[in-house]
Amino acid sequence: MKPTLRACAPTGGYWTARHAAERLEDRQLNTRAKSTDADSYADIACAGLEPLKTIGSRWPAIIGAVLTLAMIAGLGRALLGQGLAGLSRSVPHDPRFYLCFALLYMSPPTGDFVIFRRLWGIPLGGLVALIKKRIANEVVFGYSGDAYFYAWARARARMVASPFGAVKDVTILSAIAGNAVTLLLVAIALPLGRHLLTHDQFRTVLASAGVTLAISLPFLIFSRRVFSLPRARLWWVFGIHCLRLLCGSVLIAFAWHYALPGVPMGMWLFLAAGRLLVSRLPLVPNKDLLFANIAILLIGQDQALSELIAFTAAATLLVHVGLIVLFGIHAALTRMRA
């Protein structure tokens, strides 16, 4: 029996060693397969960061072209309607009016540029897209400019992998900042200007202030589900928007003061706050008329003030037209050189 056991021992050892070698080889093959799968998943994930290059979608360019045409049509309609009437009347002669007006015009896109420069690191050329964003919001329909800017950022997927969250947060915070400043001005202005409003107008202002507060509350209550940016970054964006709104009110007050120097500066600041207040109220049917009536009651220069307000609106539209034409010429020349 012992020789048999000696003969079988090497044989059993041979098969055991062979089995161990096969198991080791299987483990190596599984490790290589897992490594290959991980590389494949990594390639798929990286491909997801360049959707435009992979899919070849052209919808951002189409949206940009459609909104550009809509901007041109809206500007033409506005200028041929009531804008040119303001330009045909008295024109301010003080050059400081135009300096303040230029700063006022550039304050919204500049504020947005500061925000997106920090969020994305966009180049100076992004300021052009932000100017177009402002024009589209004012002459096409509300938030169409934000759609245009999102398309602009989406077309630059290498610079911004997922622009929707940031554009959404900045747009919502802009509205909330406007509402917050409006409510602050309501609390300050109503006790001082209560005698300038009729009973129905006073009730409309109060109802509008309530609606403004109600619109903002859901975004504040469900902020964790609504916003994508970190909380510290959200507060910073909110502060930039509030600063932009306050600077705009001060700049238009200075511009009007240089156009009509007979009116005290403090009165213009009060009217600038009233202008921002009236522009944000949701239930007021004719905001420009309400603001003009309040301003005339405060200042008393009916014709001069009406012409100044009309000229300011017309000059804004004229700058819109000039910039759209310049941007179009620049884009055409760039394509020709390419």
Please provide the DSSP assignment of 170-213 as one string: HHHHHHHHHHHHHHHHHHHHHHHHGGGS-HHHHHHHHHHHHHHH
C-alpha count within 13 angstroms, C-beta hemisphere, residue 197? 18
| CB of 71 closer than 8 Å to CB of 136 | yes
Let me know: does 180 contact 242? Beta carbons within 8 Å. Answer: yes
∠ CA 23-25-27, rounded to 5°: 70
At 115-174, the pLDDT tens digits run 999 988 888 889 999 999 998 888 777 778 888 888 888 887 566 667 888 889 999 999
Question: Token pair for residue 195?
Answer: 């005698």
Q: Is the pLDDT of residue 101 over 90?
A: yes
- Longest Cα–Cα distance of the chain, Å, equals 128
Is-contact 166 229, C-beta < 8 A?
A: yes
Is the Cα torsion angle 200, 201, 203, 208 positive or negative in sign? positive
For the entire predicted model, the pTM comes to 0.70
Question: What's the average model confidence in pLDDT over 85-103?
Answer: 81
Tens-place pLDDT, residues 305-315 = 777 877 887 88
- Greater model confidence, 292 or 27: 292
Nearest to 270 by CA among 182, 176, 199, 188: 188
Q: Using DSSP, state whether 162 is helix, strand or coil.
A: coil
More confident residue, 196 or 324: 324
Q: Please answer whether residues 119 and 166 qualify as being in contact, where contact means their C-beta atoms are separated by less than 8 angstroms.
A: yes
3-class secondary-structure state, position 88 = coil
Q: What is the pLDDT of residue 2?
A: 44
Is residue 310 within 8 Å of 78, Cβ to Cβ?
A: no
CA 96, CA 15: separation in Å to the nearest integer?
Answer: 98
Q: Which of 212, 43, 69, 222 is nearest to 136 (CA)?
A: 69
Query: What pLDDT band is residue 337 in, cutting at 50, 70 and 90?
Result: confident
Q: How confident is the model at residue 42 (pLDDT cuts 50, 70, 90)?
A: very low
DSSP 8-state assignment for residue 285:
S
Q: What is the pLDDT of residues 225-267, one digit of tens each?
A: 889 889 999 999 999 999 999 899 889 989 989 988 888 887 7
